[in-house]
């Protein structure tokens, strides 16, 4: 059984100085950057420091450091108990910290600081977040039918590629499907019939890569590490490399999202500002999230093996035995399917980092001790360690499909943090939780439903991809023997 809640009283914990150090100015940040990307890798970078200092709250530098970020120093929260401090916007400021210790040029977002970079205390945040929530609420009834339509074409494409090559690379096909869904959701138009045509995924990939390059690695052979480090992590990459393509993307959204932009004006938001925010919501938040999450989920489900596949197929086909369309009510009867989606979000969160700057002196607690964070210090959380905390989750590094099923399983949802808050919390205009939090879980469930209505089992090959996404290739698909 997984433990349900920490068994300590914060008042009983000793107050300790935060261990760790930042090294020599400039050189300490460079050393930590090289360790993070090349010498140790992300997980081992943190695990070795936890072991060295016997603490899950430590001082360290975070990439990119010089010369992109002026101050790379952070207080790292690396357990399930301390991590939620980053959700408390009464104590931490979220201004310009989406990407951590650096802030990409606003050229990438039309000259605007879009909602994701705003702190809730800023007036524009409430307007923009309310606008987003209003859009999603108005689209509620088309989520499932639209996504189902897009998925059916995805599976046709996968089967055609399997037929011709005996394997199918999932990522590129999934990316095309995701962009198609997102564009049609917000613009009610097939992107192939717009200025952007079939180039939407490639344009967004380039736009995302230029902004996030300081946080990425190309996974080149290690003897290229100094070259890559200089190329990606020393100076920000310029917007002009994607300016023309971004212009076409923006124009496509502007031309075909008229009703959405009309709604924005009712919130007091200018149309061009609303459209740049819409492109960011669709491209960075939605498409970017799906680009990471869908391959990740398929990887873990496929590798879980036939026993889980049989259980999922039975649950899904039992609920769908009358051949009816998928509904919210039907999904509510699929606890294992939902648990599998949540487990994928737990074991490999689509966004692994959270940042915030302390608004005041704060006392933060780990399982074992209390520490003081000073006003103005940058706080960082590495989510994959928080959601694999062994003092909260039993067998935390194992993918357990039924982990969140039943009363005890549901209690663990308060330690599922993937959406920039606890899974049990809902997004509001006043918090920084992902506005599409419920939509992500819904789409993950619908993808599994459609998959296991068609197939009994599958096998995949995986490897580390560029950025955060796993590279997933189907090597076999077994058609459903029963429905």
Closest C-alpha to 367, from 72, 83, 159: 83
Residue 483 to residues 313, 401, 477, Cα–Cα distance (Å): 9, 22, 16
Q: Which residues on neighbouring strands pair with residue 93, listed in sequence order?
A: 357
> What is the per-residue pLDDT for 261?
98
Q: Residue 423 domain-assigned?
A: yes
- Domain of residue 429, CATH code: 1.10.630.10
Nearest-angstrom CA–CA distance, 367 and 390: 11
> Do the Cβ atoms of 419 and 434 come closer than 8 Å?
yes
Instruction: Give average pLDDT by consecutive 10-residue segment, the chain, 483 residues.
Output: 43 90 95 96 97 98 96 98 98 98 98 98 97 97 97 98 97 98 97 96 97 93 93 96 98 98 98 98 97 97 98 96 85 97 97 97 97 98 98 98 97 97 96 96 98 98 83 97 73
Q: Residue 6 domain-assigned?
A: no
Number of structural domains in the chain: 1
Residue 434 annotated as binding site: yes
Query: Within 13 A of 19's CA, how many CA atoms are on the CB side?
Result: 14
Residue 250 to residues 113, 166, 179, 256, 268, Cα–Cα distance (Å): 16, 38, 14, 10, 20
> Do the Cβ atoms of 385 and 46 come closer than 8 Å?
yes
> What is the per-residue pLDDT for 483?
59
> What is the per-residue pLDDT for 10?
52
Listed in sequence order, the residues at least 6 apart from 226 whose beta carbon sits closer than 8 Å to its beta carbon are: none
Neighbours of 464 (CB within 10 A): 12
Nearest-angstrom CA–CA distance, 219 and 40: 13
> What is the per-residue pLDDT for 465?
74
Dump pLDDT digits (tens) for 34-65.
Answer: 999 999 999 999 999 999 999 999 999 999 99
Parent domain of 108 = 15-479
> What is the per-residue pLDDT for 5?
43
Listed in sequence order, the residues at least 6 apart from 130 whose beta carbon sits closer than 8 Å to its beta carbon are: 267, 429
Q: What is the pTM of this model?
A: 0.96
> Do the Cβ atoms of 459 and 474 come closer than 8 Å?
yes
Listed in sequence order, the residues at least 6 apart from 367 whose beta carbon sits closer than 8 Å to its beta carbon are: 6, 8, 56, 79, 81, 391
Listed in sequence order, the residues at least 6 apart from 305 whose beta carbon sits closer than 8 Å to its beta carbon are: none
Q: Residue 3 domain-assigned?
A: no
């Amino acid at each position: 059984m997984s433990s349900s809640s920490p068994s300590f009283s914060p008042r009983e914990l000793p107050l300790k100085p935060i261990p760790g150090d930042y090294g020599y100015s400039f050189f300490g940040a460079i050393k930590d950057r090289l360790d993070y990307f090349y010498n140790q890798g992300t997980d081992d970078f943190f695990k070795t420091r936890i072991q060295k200092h016997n603490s899950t709250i430590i001082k360290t530098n975070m990439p990119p450091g010089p010369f992109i970020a002026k101050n790379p120093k952070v207080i790292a929260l690396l357990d399930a108990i301390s991590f939620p401090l980053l959700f408390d916007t009464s104590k931490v400021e979220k201004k310009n910290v989406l990407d951590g210790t650096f802030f990409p040029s606003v050229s990438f977002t039309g000259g605007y600081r879009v909602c994701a970079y705003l702190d809730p205390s800023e007036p524009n945040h409430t307007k923009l977040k309310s606008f987003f929530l209003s859009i999603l609420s108005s689209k509620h009834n088309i989520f499932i039918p639209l996504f189902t339509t897009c998925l059916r074409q995805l599976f046709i494409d996968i089967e055609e590629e399997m037929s011709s090559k005996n394997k199918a690379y999932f990522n590129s096909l999934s990316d095309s499907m995701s962009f198609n869904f997102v564009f049609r959701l917000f613009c009610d138009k097939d992107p192939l019939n717009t200025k952007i045509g079939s180039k939407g995924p490639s344009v967004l990939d380039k736009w995302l890569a230029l902004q996030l390059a300081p946080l990425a690695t190309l996974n080149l052979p290690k003897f290229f590490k100094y070259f890559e480090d200089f190329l990606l992590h020393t100076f920000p990459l310029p917007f002009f490399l994607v300016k023309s393509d971004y212009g076409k993307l923006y124009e496509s959204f502007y031309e075909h999202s008229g009703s959405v932009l009309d709604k924005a004006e009712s919130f007091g938001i200018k149309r061009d500002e609303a459209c740049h925010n819409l492109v960011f919501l669709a491209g960075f938040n939605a498409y970017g999230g799906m680009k990471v999450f869908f391959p990740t989920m398929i990887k873990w489900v496929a590798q879980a093996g036939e026993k889980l596949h049989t259980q999922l197929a039975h649950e899904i086909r039992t609920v769908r035995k009358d051949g009816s369309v998928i509904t919210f009510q039907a999904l509510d009867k699929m606890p294992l399917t939902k648990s599998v989606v949540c487990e994928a979000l737990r074991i490999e969160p689509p966004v692994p980092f959270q940042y915030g700057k302390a608004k005041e002196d704060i006392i933060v607690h780990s399982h074992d001790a209390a520490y003081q964070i000073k006003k103005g210090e940058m706080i960082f959380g590495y989510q994959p360690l928080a959601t694999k905390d062994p003092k909260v989750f039993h067998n935390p590094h194992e993918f357990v499909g039924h982990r969140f099923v039943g009363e005890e399983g549901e209690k663990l949802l308060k330690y599922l943090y993937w959406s920039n808050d606890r899974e049990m919390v809902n997004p509001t205009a006043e918090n920084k939780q992902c506005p599409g939090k419920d939509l992500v879980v819904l789409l993950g469930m619908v993808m599994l439903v459609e998959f296991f209505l068609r197939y009994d089992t599958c096998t995949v090959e995986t490897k580390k991809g560029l950025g955060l996404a796993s590279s997933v290739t189907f090597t076999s698909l077994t058609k459903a023997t029963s429905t």
